[in-house]
Amino acid sequence: MLRNIRKEELKEQIFLQSMALFQEKGFDNVTVEEITRACGIAKGTFYNYFPKKEAILLHLGMLQMESAKESLKRYDNLESLKEKLNFLFQDLFARFSIYPDLARLTIAEMMRSSLLIQAELSMVELFQSELEVLIEAGKKKGQVLEQLTASDVAAVVAGVYFYCLMVWASSDMGADEMRATFERRFEVVWGGICPKLDVGGERA
Amino acid sequence: MLRNIRKEELKEQIFLQSMALFQEKGFDNVTVEEITRACGIAKGTFYNYFPKKEAILLHLGMLQMESAKESLKRYDNLESLKEKLNFLFQDLFARFSIYPDLARLTIAEMMRSSLLIQAELSMVELFQSELEVLIEAGKKKGQVLEQLTASDVAAVVAGVYFYCLMVWASSDMGADEMRATFERRFEVVWGGICPKLDVGGERA
DNA sequence: GTCAAAAAGTGACTGCGGTCATATTCGGGA
DNA sequence: TCCCGAATATGACCGCAGTCACTTTTTGAC
């Protein structure tokens, strides 16, 4: 169907126009009518593409996660699970800091939707399951304590990550500071995930 | 001022009527006018007591945190930091499961507000700083690795806790299952916070 | 090319959260 | 007891997200 291509193109246009307006005026100061006017369509049409105004933010979050997942492939040859995870998170942080103003809204919306929308799979769960795959692989190579499940480890790591995102987004912390903060905290949990490596590692 | 007592009483009444209606009909199906009608006051008066409709949920969250903090005092004589934290979290989980339907909204609102409201101190930050006090005390007794800061440890623990809350609220998991899940994950991070105790502990 | 059914587009309309100018009540100084 | 400024209450009003009955366009079977 040619129709489907058109549809995707229009969705993309709505998304881009929205982002431009949001950055210019702030999310709350942009009305759906304004967005549709900028796209040359009627207000109702917007809702054929996004169920809510906030869904634009979710779309952004989804794109960022997907592209981070994409870039993860480049690190596939790395031996160390810890390094791999670190690269992944640094990538995600970098992506979020592209739109620092929208980031907090996006993060808020990601969390909100994962709590409130009874969709099959929320973004947060999706993210955790991605992590699980990595961790399971690392576990097979003996980089994770035997008695821990990949699911629990993924949840712990995801928890620390999201908490960092949250605190970052609600403060005036710079992206670099956040990265450093996350690394310190990741180090703490890693001690519980694979203590052996730490003993021979860089710690005093 | 007698006025202040009256004021607190009315605020409490608005809160209680709101909670009753929310539980009966669901948050989204209750209008502010309905709440005020139930209290025998005008719509505008509501906004003298709560800045937004969602602020009711924040108030609930705040009350729960405060009462958990209160009950924490009962555990003050416990020697082990780990146990203390565990009791605290079990307490909080218990409180959230009193209103299981509202819990997810409350949690969502807590996180949202901590991201979006530039208030002096968000609830999440408040919570973390409470944890810090406990952890700092534990550290002085040698129950936390020397090289870790109380702030980082508090953040890690809070991250795991909030993540559990999030996943619980967005699933049909029962309160007991959540508690067990949290304990497992708490065990993981604790391994990074104070590995020594684990060696002589219950693990294989 | 024709036509019917499905898909996509439309914008007037609704309902509600939140505001604000005005009215009412209170409290305490004289 | 009276009066005035401050605190509180009020409800008509506004703006906007989201809906829906209707129109236009597209598609593909014949």
pLDDT tens per residue across span A124-164: 888 999 999 999 999 999 999 999 999 999 999 999 999 99
Q: Say how far apart CA B170 and CA B175 lie, in whole Å.
A: 12
B116 and A105 within 8 Å at the Cβ level: the answer is: yes
Residue A167: pLDDT band by 50, 70, 90 thresholds? confident
A104 and B124 within 8 Å at the Cβ level: the answer is: no
Nucleotide lying nearest to A47, CA to C1' measure? D18
Q: How many other C-beta atoms can be found within 10 angstroms of the C-beta atom of residue B78? A: 13
Residue A97: pLDDT band by 50, 70, 90 thresholds? confident
Looking at residue A121, its pLDDT comes to 67
Looking at residue A117, its pLDDT comes to 66
A202 interfaces chain B, CB cutoff of 8 Å? no
Q: Say how far apart CA B82 and CA B74 lie, in whole Å.
A: 15
pLDDT in tens, A104-134: 888 877 887 777 765 656 788 889 999 999 9
Protein-covered nucleotides of chain D (CB closer than 7 Å) are: 7-13, 15-21, 26-28
Alpha-helix residue ranges (DSSP H) falling in chain B: 2-25, 32-39, 43-49, 55-72, 81-96, 100-116, 123-140, 150-169, 175-193, 195-199
Q: Are B72 and B153 in contact (CB under 8 A)?
A: no
In chain B, which residues have pLDDT < 70?
A: 1-4, 117-121, 196-204
Looking at residue B118, its pLDDT comes to 58
B204 and A147 within 8 Å at the Cβ level: the answer is: yes
Q: Would you tell me which residues have their CB within 7 A of strand C?
A: A 3-4, 7, 10, 41-45, 47-49; B 1-3, 6, 30-33, 43-44, 47, 51-54
- The three-state secondary structure class of B125 is helix
Looking at residue A119, its pLDDT comes to 60
What's this model's pTM, rounded to 2 decimal places?
0.87
Q: Say how far apart CA A93 and CA B59 lie, in whole Å.
A: 32
Average pLDDT taken over every residue of chain A: 87
Res. A199: pLDDT tops 50 = no
A114 vs A63, residue with greater confidence: A63
Looking at residue B3, its pLDDT comes to 61
Looking at residue B2, its pLDDT comes to 57
Looking at residue A158, its pLDDT comes to 96
Q: What angle do CA B62, B68, B71 make, to 5 degrees?
A: 145
A152 and B122 within 8 Å at the Cβ level: the answer is: no
Q: Say how far apart CA B64 and CA B92 lie, in whole Å.
A: 7
Res. A19: pLDDT tops 90 = yes
Looking at residue A34, its pLDDT comes to 98
